[in-house]
Structure 1
Amino acid sequence: MLVYGHGVDAYAAALQSSMSNLNTVWVINGDRMMPELTSEFVSIASSADLDAGIWAALLAGTLQKDKPSDSLSAVAKRRINPRIVQNVVDSVVKVSKNLTIIEKGQLRSVKKSGKNWQVELTDRTNYKVRAIVDASSDAYLCQLAYGSLDSIRVRTDISGDYFQSPPYEGLSRTGVAVGESDGRGFTLPLAALVPADDSNLFLTQRGPVVRSLLSGTADDVPLLMHVGQAVGAAAAYTAFYKITSDKLDVRNVQGELLQYGSRLLPLVDVPVEDPHFSAIQRVCATGMLLGRVEASGRLYFDADTAVTAGEIKPVLNQLFSRSQIWFVNHADVDTLTLANLFSYIKFVGQRGDELEGQVQKYWKRRFHFEGEYDEQQLATRRHVAVLLDAYCKPFDVKLGMDGVVQR
């Protein structure tokens, strides 16, 4: 795989590809790597409590911390020192496997050759790759490949209405990069970031929806980092499995991103350091338990509030055929207790009576729940998300690019 560009999105795409075990060539088409962060001191106010993945790891690194957290990100973003960023990036790149960096690289030609791309630099160096990410600000690589920018198309165009609706179902189930617009949280669906054809030529900042969201200021950095990582994961997937971009598996791409700390949904009250972060992100990506959207547009999970059968029934019935039978047989259940949840898991997940004993045994050690185990207590959103994720795995049910369940 080859990444072309010098900005933060190029860095995130190249690093994600290398972490996904792809031989990755990063052609830096400028004098400086990531000038947005390595040229001068900057302060970033955007995406509060939404920093994640490679971006959050970089922020933690500037404070000499190994593990990211929302609080560290908030502190680091107040005043980002360019020299420290460069030192962190240099150290990360130095230990990255499968990553080859070409500094001040210039393109000579980009041509499709069968199922591969043939990329030639001005020094006559040639690369034959399965996938390309054009992370340049002018989409120069894309222009060389197609002759113009008129060929830039994505699988699904996103209208402005998308950002005014709460991200409950549909395309938001396929979310891979979070951000905010006018204070309102959103997630960009995978289909808005992948090519409409089977070319395996991906774009970051020049993709239609991303371009419409950029302000030209340092506040663009978090979104560009998240988009770069998402596109890097998608492109790496096509190259690793030798498939075309029209055959991407949404859940596999999302799972790869979660493995490296990305957010799928903009839940501002579930920090990246929360032990249940991944489980909650996975379950919410099915359309369940998304809590509430404040007037400001920020999305809250409300982990400690109770759960009613009615609010999870529609999605669970879509995911599991046996689910409908359970809800018919338990029509009198309103607010769920743990006992109700165990009953559902045993019926749908085909678990035996040993389930309660397992949960009690691992209540604090594995599941990291607070308080004492009691089957008659009300099941919170946290309980439901973590236990459904562990025993029913709703996230594993196949999902199309359009967000429609495929079971």
Structure 2
Amino acid sequence: MKKLFFVLALLIPVVIYAQTIKTDVLVLGNSNAAFAAGVQASESGVNAIILTQSDGFKLGDYRNFPENGVTKAFEKRARKSLKLADTVAIPEMNYQILNAIIKTWSDSSKLFDVINNASYYEIKRSGSGWEAKLTKDKSIKAKVLIVTDHADRILSALKIPSLKIAETSTINYSENVYRTTIGGLQRTSNFLSLYNLLIPDQENILYIGADSFEIGQAAGATAAYGAFYKTKTSLSNLKRIQGELLAYKLSLMPFEDVKVIDSNWLAIQKVGITGILKADIKDGKLFFNPEKEVAYNEIKQPIKDYYYKAQIWFDDHHNIPINLENTISMVSYVGNKAVDATKTEIEKKWNKNYKFSSKYDLKKVLTRREFSAIINEYLKPFDVVNVDRTGRVIR
């Protein structure tokens, strides 16, 4: 497991005292979202239990799973269970085989557990967390609860008449909310904002739809953050959760033309989230156009919005081509770096580190792929500049 913001997590097994099972995250449901939430929470370093209340998960065809870290985690266990080499494609799996793989995974994991065929008859607040009563003498206590179905069964515990499900939004560049994304839905231009996942006036509970792996993974990382840091979900740290999800290969911006396996995927994701380079929306899908050349007017204002010093540089450089030489001049000025040293560094990294297919040429107008890699490394707009809950840059 990558050691990210949960780097200090101790692998503490589920503890049972007097028929009370204690965990960090409890997920209710047997859907795509429930599975992804439980897997991501455990991958992020906390104990997670999924209470399916049925005889297993209803996940559909594995071959249609989205490309992300949850899928990779499942694929690793599937290959081990089916004794398949990495070079052999995983075949179509029926309901029984898929659930047998998950059971083996659950049985052998210290952090990931699945309880099938066990319904709860009551769920209630327990301190800052939750308690689900399975029988009169047996219950599960959790710090954070994720609900993927039958939300009506917990309304009495919340003391409210209804519970609003987390809703996605369509990327709209006239607003900045897309910068608060914690999950892009593949093959769409839709995303989930962290602030649409959090429930006003209700702590340590997340309510998501059943269908989406991506939203499930986002909810799992958010719940894990709260459990690990022993904090309220309302105090979730956007950048840390985004960083965790990117580390586990969840596309926060659902670019149709830049896949997870792309060597520049992470840089393009980070720059895409900032809006310094904006995508095109066609037929309800989001296209980054990584091989298209960068134009002066498309980056001028966004970079000025992120950096005070960029305003001076652009005032001194009017309508110039965004070639490699001018880009190095800009990042060196804004980032307080030596121009010649930066040229030398980038030349060394051009093909070896960045994996660019083009030749290093100072007069070359940069593609959006090349510009993203350089801006991400030398100015780090995603990493060092914070935004508020509306996506507005905070400087």
Residues 290, 299 of structure 1: 8 Å contact kept: no
CA contact (8 A) 2:164 2:207 kept: no
Q: How far is 1:16 from its partner?
A: 0.5
Instruction: Report the residue type matching 1:52 in the other structure.
Output: N
Answering whether residue 382 of structure 2 is matched by residue 399 of structure 1, we say: no
Matched residue type, 1:24: A
Note if contact 2:124-2:154 (Cα within 8 Å) is conserved in structure 1. no
Match of residue 341 from structure 1: 327
Name the CA distance, whole Å, in 2 between partners of 1:254 and 1:95.
29
Q: Equivalents in 1 of 2:162, 2:373: separation in Å?
A: 44
Over residues 179-234 of structure 1, what are the superposed CA-to-partner deviations in whole Å (9 max), with x where a residue is unaligned? 36xx743212222222112511101117xxxxxxxxxxxxx4xxx11111111111
| 1:205 aligned to which of 187, 209, 222 | 209
1:329 aligns with 2:329: no
Question: 1:278 aligns to what?
Answer: 266
* Cα 1:12/1:338, change in 2 over 3 Å: same
- How far residue 341 of structure 1 moved from its aligned partner, in angstroms, is 1.0
- Aligned residues: percent identity? 28
Among 368, 380, 393, which residue is 1:381 paired with? 368
SS at structure 2 position matched to 1:100: strand
- How far apart are the structure 2 equivalents of 1:113 and 1:226? 29
Offset at residue 80 of structure 1 (A): 5.4
With structure 2 as the length reference, what TM-score do the two structures score? Answer: 0.82
Give me the whole-angstrom Cα distance separating, in 1, the residues matched to 2:363 and 2:174: 29
Give 2:352's aligned amino acid.
R
Deviation of the 1:97 alpha carbon: 3.7
Which residue is equivalent to 2:58?
Answer: 35
Equivalent residue in structure 2 for 1:101, among 114, 126, 131: 114
Secondary structure of 2:308's aligned partner? coil
Matched residues in 1 for 2:224 and 2:73: separation? 20
Q: Determine the structure 1 residue equivalent to 2:4.
A: none
> How far did residue 83 of structure 1 move?
4.3
Rounded to whole Å, the distance in 2 between the matches of 1:42 and 1:234 is 25
Structure 1 residue identity aligned to 2:38: A
Query: What is the alpha-carbon distance in structure 1 between the residues aligned to residue 348 and residue 286 of structure 2?
Result: 33
Instruction: Give the letter for the 1:229 counterpart.
Output: Q
Give the Cα–Cα distance (whole angstroms) in 2 for the partners of residues 381 and 88 of structure 1.
41
Which residue identity lines up with residue 163 of structure 2 in the other structure? I
CA contact (8 A) 2:147 2:207 kept: yes
Write the distance in 1 (CA, Å) between the matches of 2:379 and 2:353. 17
Looking at structure 1, the residues matched to 308 and 218 of structure 2 have their Cα atoms a distance apart, in angstroms, of: 32
Contact 1:168-1:287 at 8 Å conserved across structures: no
Q: Greater shift after overlay, 226-235 or 110-119?
A: 110-119
> How has the CA–CA distance of structure 1 residues 81 and 109 changed in structure 2, closer, same or farther, with 3 Å as cutoff?
closer
Aligned partners of 1:176 and 1:327: how far apart in 2?
32
1:293 to 273, 281, 294: 281
Count of residue pairs the alignment pairs up: 365
Selected match of 1:52 from 56, 68, 75 = 68
Tell me the distance in 2 between the aligned counterparts of 1:189 and 1:167: 14
User: What are the superposed Cα offsets for residues 326-359 of structure 1, whole Å, 9 maximum, x if unpaired?
Assistant: 11121242x3001111111111122223111111
Find the counterpart in structure 2 of residue 172 from structure 1.
Answer: 178
Instruction: Name the residue aligned to 1:121.
Output: 134
Is 2:102 the partner of 1:89? yes
Q: Residues 177 and 189 of structure 1 are in contact (CA less than 8 Å); yes or no, is this contact kept in structure 2?
A: yes
Contact 1:198 1:244 in 2 (8 A): no
The question of 1:367 aligning with 2:354 is answered yes
Contact 1:15–1:96 under 8 Å retained in 2: no
Q: Does the aligned pair in 2 maintain the 1:306–1:381 contact within 8 Å?
A: yes
Kept after mapping to 1: 8 A contact 2:296/2:319: no
Matched to 1:270, the amino acid is V
The answer to whether the 8 Å contact 1:290/1:301 transfers is yes
Q: Tell me which residue corresponds to 2:7.
A: none
**SS of residue matched to 2:132:** strand
1:318 corresponds, among 305, 328, 337, to 305
What does 1:117-196 align with in structure 2 at a 5 Å threshold? Answer: 117-122=130-135, 124-135=137-148, 137-139=149-151, 142-143=154-155, 145-146=157-158, 150-153=161-164, 162-163=169-170, 166=172, 169-179=175-185, 184-196=188-200
1:141 is displaced (CA, Å) by: 5.2
**Contact 1:199–1:245 (8 Å) recurs in 2:** yes
Report the AA paired with residue 135 of structure 2. Answer: T
Partner SS, residue 107 of structure 1: coil
Match of 2:16 in 1: none
| Distance in 1 of aligned mates of 2:164 and 2:319 | 50
| 1:228 corresponding residue in structure 2 | 216
Amino acid at match of 1:344: M
Distance 1:82 1:168 in 2: 44
**Aligned-pair RMSD on alpha carbons?**
2.9
1:217 match: none
| Equivalent residue, structure 2, for 1:239 | 227
For residues 19 and 144 of structure 1, do their structure 2 counterparts lie closer, same or farther at Cα, with a shift above 3 Å needed? farther
Q: 1:16 is aligned with what amino acid?
A: Q
Tell me, in whole angstroms, the C-alpha distance in 2 between the residues paired with 1:168 and 1:83: 47
CA contact (8 A) 2:347 2:360 kept: yes
* 3-state secondary structure, aligned to 2:50: strand
Q: Equivalents in 1 of 2:227, 2:192: separation in Å?
A: 22
Q: Which amino acid aligns with 2:182?
A: V
3-state SS, counterpart of residue 307 of structure 1: coil
Pairing 1:6-17 to 2, within 5 Å after superposition: 6-17=30-41
